[in-house]
Amino acid sequence: MSKRKVLELFYDVVSPYSWLGFEILCRYKNIWNIDVQLRPGYLGAIMHTTGNSPPAMVPKRGAYMAKDMKRLSEFYQVPLQQPSDFFHVVIKKGSLSAMRFVTAVQMSHPEFVEKVSRELWVRIWSEDKDITEPESILQAAQKAGIPEDLAKKLLSTISSPEVKNKLKETTEKALEYGVFGMPSIVAHINEKPELFFGSDRFELLAHQLGEKWLGPVPQISKL
């Protein structure tokens, strides 16, 4: 067996495309010879630093994105649905508290990171619910299987220097790799990091890894 290749996934739950990339890597982590490392970062800082802007802020692109989300949901089998007040939820409220919480979870209980990230995506991008208020975050934590006392303890740390610095460190690492948006996958191939942006580069990624692309739902393709 050849050495497992490391894939770092930089993501933010405010990004619906990050959810698609996240789910695909979770589906392939036991099919491809890869080690998936989740890297919760802060997309707002990435966009600001690189001068990028949300695609939905371009009117024509925003209208296209709303229609495309239905097709993406069906194709990827991820229950995507645009929030009713996109601008307020995504642009105004953002995801800083949520990503600090995910970071706090990763720092002390990484076994819950995958599940709590997914539950936060479900809230904002499927159920049209808040992800910024403490009670909202605790509800996501509960659905992710985090014990109530532990979830409250983790939530109490999100304003600590340790958690803030860890999120900043991950975000700065993404910038060092050349990340300008999310999701971004950094594949370490032959000891060299290669950046793949977006949720629609998996065929190319598979080719670079020497793996087979079986579509967005490989479990069905293999039947």
Domain parsing of the chain, residue ranges: 5-221
Q: In whole angstroms, what is the distance from residue 177 CA to residue 180 CA?
A: 9
Averaged over 42-68, what is the pLDDT?
86
**Superfamily classification of domain 5-221:** Glutaredoxin (3.40.30.10)
Stated pTM of the model: 0.94
pLDDT, mean of residues 88-107: 91
Helices (H) and strands (E) in the chain, counts: 11, 4
Structure confidence at residue 2 (pLDDT): 65
Contact by Cβ (8 Å): 41, 216: no
pLDDT score at 22: 98
57, pLDDT greater than 90: no
For Cα atoms 160, 12, 3, give the angle at the middle one, nearest 5 degrees. 100
Give the tens place of pLDDT for each residue, 107-120: 999 999 999 999 99
Contacts of 160 (CB under 8 A, 6+ apart): none
Average pLDDT over every residue of 87-102: 88
Report the range of poorest mean pLDDT among 27-31, 140-144, 167-171, 219-223: 219-223
Average pLDDT over every residue of 124-152: 97
In tens, the pLDDT along 201-219 reads 999 999 999 999 999 999 8
Average pLDDT, the chain: 93
How high is the pLDDT of residue 86? Answer: 74
CA nearest neighbour of 116 among 160, 78, 90, 154: 154
